Amino acid sequence: MRIAQAEKVLLKFIVPPTNHEEPASNGRLKNMGNMTEISLDDVSKLEPGQIMADSIRQWRSDCQAGQFKIGNSAMKGSRIDMEIIGAQISEGEFFGYPLQKWLALLFVDPEGVLSTILFKTESLDQFEEMRRQYRLKGESLLGKTIRAQMSKRASRANGNGYFAVEFEVVSQGQYAEAIAQFRQKHYSPEFIRLIESKPAEKQVA
């Protein structure tokens, strides 16, 4: 769904215009105050290196099942490759957990879709250590493909196992150019949305 604004500035990602911009002349996507008209007849495919950013996909890490999910129930396996756009650590009460620190990532998923995900506790520490090691080498995590992998752990408290997420850089990213433009022209901390689920749903690593 490439819109007129993106075509005008030749950006390699798809992003809707803000409320202050003129509506798209081709009628594909128009922003009218607080209402956005979505084109359902646009079936154009993404070009190589292009990001779909007209909405944000919400990933979750279910560390009881050892699976990454889209939304509440769409299981997608025990690992996910991501190319990071932004990261934040904040405190909050999400997914029914008490107040604690959370790591929120804004990233491009394997299908080229702008996405978010939350991590906590051991998974947060694993990401921080990876970031620290690359900082010591004088390298950034931007422009790289990072693999998040569920890893089995044993619980001493109750004897039940659980999963934590481990991270590693596996290759250079294929969306590096688009991500650099996105960060320069569109990125702000507000893009990272921390979505609180029902209190009974305790599934984030």
Note the pTM of the prediction, 2 decimals. Answer: 0.75
70/128 same-domain check: yes
- Say yes or no: 102 and 15 in one domain: no
Residue 131 lies in a domain: yes
The answer to whether residues 96 and 6 belong to one domain is no
Residues 34-50: tens digit of each pLDDT: 666 777 877 788 888 89
Q: What percent of the chain has pLDDT over 90?
A: 45
- Measured from the Cβ of residue 172, the count of other Cβ atoms closer than 10 Å reads 10
Q: Is residue 205 part of a domain?
A: no
In a domain, 40, yes or no: yes
Q: Which of 12-21, 35-44, 63-72, 106-115: highest mean pLDDT?
A: 106-115
Whether residues 114 and 139 share a domain: the answer is: yes
Q: Which of 52-56, 65-69, 106-110 has the lowest mean pLDDT?
A: 52-56
pLDDT in tens, 109-168: 999 999 999 998 899 999 999 999 999 999 999 999 999 999 998 876 666 788 999 999
The answer to whether position 83 is within a domain reads yes
Say if CB 155 and CB 162 are below 8 A apart. Answer: yes
Q: 31: which residues sit within 8 A by CB, 6+ positions away?
A: 16, 17, 18, 19, 21, 23, 37
Residue 88: which domain range?
A: 56-191
Q: What is the pLDDT of residues 162-201, one digit of tens each?
A: 899 999 999 999 999 999 999 998 887 776 654 444 444 4
- Give CA–CA dist 97/42, Å, rounded: 40
Residue 63 lies in a domain: yes
Work out the mean pLDDT of the chain and round it to a whole number: 78
